[in-house]
């Protein structure tokens, strides 16, 4: 069945390519965490689809945690101010955390979250990011498991939104004519 695609969205990465890449990352994670229980920390809202697919492809005991974060003001550019809108429900002290991010753009959100989590004394923190836009990096951050590197374009779909729309697209796409007056994203 062909997936839903609004006419203003151009496909950038197909569902098939995403599925293949997620399977590869999950196989690598399964190998590298062999024998351990992993805490997948899904950064809401944009990572919910990636985290769900990744979790089901990892062949290890997995615990899910969710962290609500708002990193943008009234713009499509990161303000550098990261607000935690929903905190973890359980302590992560002594846990192996895999932080699951949708996209690393400037890197400000990820570096802030790493600092925050470190203060909660987990055994380890690694990062899985679906997308990375190296052109816009302001803060160098280590990504241990990366899906795709992309150019400096605004992407939607597969969990990512524009003004809370398009999260349910099965593929990753680019908006043909994004409005300049962007609303806050998650």
Please list the active-site residues: 105
Cα gap 150→177, rounded to integer Å: 18
Q: Which of 25, 106, 116, 22 is nearest to 69 (CA)?
A: 116
Q: Is 20 left (phi over 0), alpha (psi -120 to 50) or beta?
A: alpha
Beta carbon of residue 70, minimum distance to ligand 5GP (angstroms, whole number): 9
Q: What is the dihedral of CA 175, 135, 75, 147, to 10 degrees?
A: 60
Quickly tell me which residue has 């809370």 as its tokens.
164
Q: Of the two residues 33 and 150, which places its CB atom closer to ligand 5GP in the complex? A: 150
Nearer residue to ligand 5GP within complex by CB, 26 or 127: 127
Q: How far is the CB of 141 from ligand 5GP (least distance, A)?
A: 8
Q: How far is the CB of 138 from ligand 5GP (least distance, A)?
A: 8
Binding site for ligand 5GP (CB under 6 A): 46, 71, 78, 101-110, 154-156, 160-162, 185-186
- Pick between residue 30 and residue 154 the one whose CB is nearest to ligand 5GP: 154
Nearer to ligand 5GP, 33 or 69 (CB): 69
CA distance 38 to 15: 26
Q: How far is CA 149 from CA 86, 106, 125, 132, 145, in A?
A: 28, 13, 21, 5, 12
Query: What minimum distance in Å lies between the beta carbon of 110 and ligand 5GP?
Result: 6
Q: How far is CA 70 from the centre of its chain?
A: 13
With contact defined as beta carbons under 8 Å apart, do 122 and 179 qualify? no
């Amino acid at each position: 069945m062909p997936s839903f695609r609004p006419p203003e969205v151009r496909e950038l990465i197909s569902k098939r390519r995403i599925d293949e890449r997620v399977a590869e990352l999950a196989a690598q994670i399964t190998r590298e965490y062999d024998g351990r229980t992993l805490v997948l920390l899904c950064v809401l809202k944009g990572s919910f689809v990636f985290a769900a697919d990744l979790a089901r492809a990892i062949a290890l005991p997995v615990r899910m945690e969710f962290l609500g974060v708002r990193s943008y003001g009234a713009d499509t550019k990161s303000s550098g101010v990261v607000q935690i809108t929903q905190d973890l429900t359980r302590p992560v002290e002594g846990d192996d955390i895999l932080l699951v991010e949708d996209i690393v753009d400037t890197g400000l959100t990820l570096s802030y979250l790493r600092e925050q989590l470190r203060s909660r004394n987990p055994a380890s923190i690694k990062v899985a990011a679906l997308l990375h836009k190296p052109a816009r990096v302001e803060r160098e951050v280590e990504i241990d498991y990366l899906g795709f590197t992309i150019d400096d374009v605004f992407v939607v779909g597969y969990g990512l939104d524009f003004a809370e729309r398009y999260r349910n697209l099965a593929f990753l796409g680019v908006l043909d004519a994004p409005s300049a007056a962007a609303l806050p994203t998650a």
